[in-house]
Homo-oligomer: A and B are copies of this chain.
Amino acid sequence: MLNAAETAALLRQFDQVLILTHVRPDGDTMGCAAALCAGLRRLGKCAYLLPNPELTKNCTPYFRPYEAPAGFTPDKVVAVDIATLGLLPDNARPYAGRIDLAIDHHPSFEGFGQACLVRPAAAACGEILYDVLAALGPITPEIALPLYVAISTDTGCFAYANTTAHTHAVAAALLSTGIDYQGVNKVFFRTKSRKQMQLEAAILGGCTFYDRERVAVLSVPLSLMEQVQASESDAEDLSSLGALIEGVDCAVTMRELSPDVWKFSVRTGSRVDASRVCQLLGGGGHAAAAGCTVEAPWADARDQMLAAIAQVVPDFCR
């Protein structure tokens, strides 16, 4: 395991570098890759990002300018924010056995890569990249802007519990380069699609409460998705909605995948073990976030979930 200075020293020896990102790419993997590429080029090196087939609209402006042309043959391969080789996109598979350096922050990192720098305490992989790039030279705006994307998106704009003093210290250094962080905040945190808005309105309007209003059930039937003509990305963040409601410590979101097939997402506070609840219905997950799938008409499926919660929570009130 390397530290940031050792990683910087290793990168100084690299050239003809290809940088890999993970499937279902988020702002952290995309931003880290772009920032590292900018940093290596600043040192006069040839560096590119492997195109990611699932590149998202919001990340395109940061990622696209660094994409490798067809036929680029790398001498060195670096993976950023990738916990396991199983998370490589299909077009990255040929490089799975020859990754020279892996930089990651997942506790589940699987130890691939000739060399690696892994810090599970980092809220975002972007925080680690900052330390590495700062050891390579001054942080320019070209480096700072994608790093801000990486760090802000992985921390919910500094609101999630993973945010640390180091996260804010890095953000301070990035902002001091004069980047347009406001544009990033607007696009990633202060914009919703109209269809997202319509879905949220319908789902909140139809929300039902149980167990002295501590349990909220939010439903996303197929009919609603069709009525709004919503896409997957419009429905992406809905399962976090119920947990915002004051007094609710068990938010259940029921999404109809196909007629009468309901995918449950359960988000809970410390009173309710979501994992145990979902295990009773054939699913699983973590104590605060778990899921399962139930085949039944809506009311039946809901009743099965309420019965499972009642079985796990001693003070459930009918």
Q: Which residues of A contact B (CB under 8 A)?
A: 157-161, 163-169, 171-173, 175-176, 181-182, 185, 189-194, 197-198, 200-205, 207, 209, 213, 243-247
Contacts and interface: CB of A to CB of B under 8 A. Distances in A.
Q: Give the secondary structure class of A's interface.
A: helix
A190 B159 contact: yes
Contact of A171 (B168, B200, B207, B247): B168
19 contacts: A157-B159, A159-B185, A159-B189, A161-B185, A163-B175, A166-B172, A168-B171, A168-B172, A168-B175, A172-B172, A194-B209, A194-B245, A194-B247, A197-B204, A197-B245, A198-B204, A200-B200, A200-B201, A200-B204
Contacts of A168: 168-169, 171-172, 175
Given A165-B172, A165-B175, A168-B171, A192 B246 contact: yes
Q: How many copies does the complex hold?
A: 2
Contacts of A166: 172
A198 B203 CA distance: 10
Nearest to A190: B244
Nearest to A183: B161
Contact of A165 (B160, B173, B200, B245): B173
Contacts of A163: 175, 181
A62 B160 CA distance: 21
A181 B182 CA distance: 23
A207 B197 contact: yes
Contacts of A172: 165-169, 172
Contacts of A190: 159, 243-244
A204 B195 CA distance: 11
A159 B204 CA distance: 25
A215 to B, nearest CB: 13
A209 B161 CA distance: 37
Given A168-B175, A182-B161, A246-B191, A201 B205 contact: yes
A252 B286 CA distance: 42
Given A181-B163, A201-B201, A201-B204, A171 B191 contact: no
A244 B192 contact: yes
Contacts of A244: 190-192, 197
Contacts of A158: 157-158, 171
Nearest to A196: B246
Nearest to A173: B165
A54 to B, nearest CB: 20
Contacts of A169: 168-169, 172
